[in-house]
Structure 1
């Protein structure tokens, strides 16, 4: 039987496909063929990057926006997770940033409805390919409205950045230029998106042309005008999915598990573990058909089959899983329930996007298979040497994630095993097809998303201040609703650590706990998140874990999730995005947006969804534009006592005036009643 395209692509031995990075890193760089000037360079075209570009354009700036794929939007488009993760209370109040609300409105206008697929995970599920079209037009309209200029650079990666000390009264260095590589297919070769990411990523980061890709070397620079009195001639916003520029510039950051402490009391380890990050997912789309279809088994299926599962009995229903993130509903159908969850039955023509923990999630967690290279691994592979940057990811793990995703489709339609629930639970459902092609929802010939959905990357350590002498970080205790009265915390933490934990969450009574005036058991528990005087955005989502696996490889029969990783999982209070979490150490003209802001491993599990990404991006774009207008550096917005910092107060006023909330309603240190925000 003739194999499908994805079977051909993903069964070729990995070692025959990857580009020779050792050779690439030794090649001398080419001279730039293009020079591009911009006020704001946004690196990464996901929702954080789009939010930053949107606000920068509305404020009249020239924005250069780079993206490794050819779609803007990240989660909603190139990563295929086109089901908006939102909390019901925030959705009911429509308490989101203006640009995010505009996107939601445009989705509704485009389809005539907000939930095209009648999915049950969200109020809005839609096609990834349409999300790119809608969002790109929104950015074009923002440029027109604000008299800004958008310079869009798809299929473009940053290869080198030039960082120099600048005598401008700042505290450190600045990015003065960046070298990017833009790629296109060579003549008489297939279009881009014919191969999965693992097959071209190393080629994309090489200066030299290959038989597959032709590169254009672009140098990004600030506007070439009089800069003698300017503290920073431009701003750079790091909005990549994995914290690429953080790794490339080697500024202080964390990766993976943080050690157990009163601030991270649910940590699964007494020591750091940079290899255990949350799982990543290659999404795909599948369509229900009227009749059973041939379902050839991929050559690699048996390797991954021991992993797949419905996970929980209350979720062990194929139609439930199919409609969970259904992104297109072809025709009306009756409403049914399973496990107390209601949904409309699938009908032929319905399209589902798959993003399932014990399915197409790939969850490596050791030093031999982790996806995002640590600083030590970057050094060992030569990526911190001049011209050596290759994206900072383990290509073989991307490849295995692709195979794992394809295998999950086969399990859904033909599998009869279940790793968590045992025999007799999973039944075949062959009346489906795997959607492939450039006109398919994912826009790829192979059918997988153009880029994996990344839940966790490198996270900066913010600048030290009086409350955070080791560098600013948002921690678990700043947002979690967990009741720390559990015996586990009393037994795992030392008495001193437990007293400190109870003091932290006691709010205004914290000093009484520390002084011994009241015991830890008597201390009240704060019933809201930490309030930040320098808040520039908002978010609300549960602390939601897709933990790494205990052993390598991820798909090893009998493998389990890392013990204790889900202990911190649970509801979170509505939270704020402090500007201090977006200002990195050392580099004065860079702002960080998206999943790489200064959060702990556990807090990052909540600070990662769609509306948060946009809110952080909107804050970054506004901060960058105002810093240029005021001729100050971003860290100056966070200096001194917040209420006396006129720059910060002006920034917050602009954000609020432009429809970008910095706090939830009735946010106050005296308001302890946040129970309605679930």
Structure 2
């Protein structure tokens, strides 16, 4: 079996994994990063999810490199597309004019920018990226990880990766069970965490947020792009969860914060919230006429959230069953939109909706990887609880302050329906910090989380899982591993030694990572 060695091995080319690789390579370290799909970038690329961000993102509240990514996306369109004069002159231009994001853009644009940011280190040989590569096993010695064996998904070839430090940047925390790292899944008990919105009864490790196979589509009026009837369409066309106001294949939904039923519309007009512009990634009106035949919109809606079973810590057969069922749900939603969706003119269906598999780089037309909202989470030296960030729990109107902060984030505590068929949890949170303690496993010394697998709970994962926060988590982990190598100390020593902590935080600040928030309101 072939072996490869580096200073830092990053398993998973997620949004956080890419940020970690960028940080570690900047510090002069030799890095190997693996990725299961053909696209690095995670949420931003292979999952086709435009950035979910807070209201102040253009000014503060993210790392410098994340802002460079955002600036790079806008520059990518300016460099390669014929924009209108207005779009070209608008500093904070939004390619998709989306409701949900201030910089909604195509996943392949994100890929191009991330690859450009990493290019100097790939070209120099400092960073090696192995796509279509999945972790298979890990070799450990007491509290140390000695190697991770990965397998190429196309050839079946195996390779043993060795390094002083390992970062788990997979979407589901896949290295944790392989390396025997203590972790939790699902929903904690109120008895264990004291969180107001935790379960009243015992913890439920299999109660996890829904995941979603996103897809892209455009609309060509007068044309017929109806796909073949999906195999499971009859099931999904009749399915209705007990907690949902109507059939899943419908324009029905709820206001997450109040659970009040609402009815969406597809296109703008008619007084209903338009799903079309919700995650639109191309607004054709920003481009010279003829550049795009129509807008391009990403479908990541309540109607294609899959909650009938988890894909973490189940058998490979059950995992595959749920993944395939989720794909069938998304394809069924598209077919329903094309053939049965009610229209304002009294007709049914929009056959001009066209599945854009080229946008997601896939044969089946869906995203290369499901949008994962909840991962395995390390048992950490410090776990962020609802009491630390919830507006209702904080009398002074500020989230808990952490002296070991390694970054900041801000988003509502937003949990989608879960695999235990529990409804949304959506509550106001305060701009928060990312404590270093949440990046430190309670036992293992040389493995760090670099994605959504840090020390949070089912509840607080709801606000720590979004794009800029995940980027910050990965970046902080990359710098932490590099800093620990240079100082010849363990990451947990950085937290426990005030001088080391100050030096590490000074490094983060110098690299453009904000450690604290100004005084602002809840979201």
Q: Is 1:370 matched up with 2:310?
A: yes
Shift of 1:586: 2.3
* 2:133 maps to which of 126, 147, 156: 156
How does 1:468-483 map onto structure 2 within 5 Å? 472-482=382-392
Q: Residue deviations 1:29-60, cap 9 Å, x none?
A: xxx1x221110101110111011001001100
Q: Does the 8 A contact of 1:532 with 1:576 survive in 2?
A: yes
Q: Residue deviations 1:568-600, cap 9 Å, x none?
A: 522211111111111112211111122110111
Q: Distance in 1 between matches of 2:304 and 2:368?
A: 14
Q: Is 1:177 matched up with 2:118?
A: no
Q: Does the 8 A contact of 2:341 with 2:350 survive in 1?
A: no
Secondary structure of 1:441's counterpart equals: helix
Q: Does the 8 A contact of 1:257 with 1:269 survive in 2?
A: no
Q: Distance in 2 between matches of 1:299 and 1:348?
A: 30
The alignment yields a C-alpha RMSD, in angstroms, of: 2.4
Shift of 1:535: 0.9
What TM-score do you get using the length of structure 1 for normalisation?
A: 0.68
Q: Distance in 2 between matches of 1:479 and 1:576?
A: 9
Shift of 1:372: 0.9
Secondary structure of 1:531's counterpart equals: coil
Shift of 1:100: 0.6
Q: Is 1:299 matched up with 2:231?
A: yes
Change (3 A) 1:118 1:631: same
* 1:649 maps to which of 489, 502, 507: 502
**Unaligned stretches of 5+ residues in structure 2:** 79-86, 88-92, 240-247, 255-260, 268-273
How does 1:653-668 map onto structure 2 within 5 Å? 653-665=506-518
Q: Does the 8 A contact of 2:185 with 2:208 survive in 1?
A: yes
Q: Residue deviations 1:298-336, cap 9 Å, x none?
A: 232111123223214655211111111111122369xxx
**Rg comparison, structure with higher value:** 1
Q: Does the 8 A contact of 2:209 with 2:419 survive in 1?
A: no
Q: Residue deviations 1:437-461, cap 9 Å, x none?
A: xxx1100111111110100011111
How does 1:22-33 map onto structure 2 within 5 Å? 32=1
Change (3 A) 1:398 1:426: farther
Secondary structure of 2:400's counterpart equals: coil
How does 1:432-451 map onto structure 2 within 5 Å? 432-436=353-357, 440-451=358-369
Q: Distance in 1 between matches of 2:182 and 2:419?
A: 26
What TM-score do you get using the length of structure 2 for normalisation?
A: 0.87
Q: Distance in 1 between matches of 2:213 and 2:414?
A: 18
Q: Is 1:106 matched up with 2:16?
A: no
* 1:41 maps to which of 1, 5, 9: 9
Q: Does the 8 A contact of 1:282 with 1:405 survive in 2?
A: yes
Shift of 1:140: 1.5
Q: Distance in 2 between matches of 1:70 and 1:416?
A: 34
Shift of 1:361: 1.1
Shift of 1:250: 2.8
Change (3 A) 1:624 1:314: same
Task: State how many pairs are aligned.
Answer: 482
- Aligned partner of 1:318 in structure 2 is 266
Q: Distance in 1 between matches of 2:206 and 2:215?
A: 26
Q: Is 1:244 matched up with 2:174?
A: yes
Secondary structure of 1:605's counterpart equals: helix
Secondary structure of 1:35's counterpart equals: strand
Shift of 1:616: 0.4
Q: Distance in 1 between matches of 2:347 and 2:386?
A: 37
Q: Distance in 1 between matches of 2:263 and 2:513?
A: 37
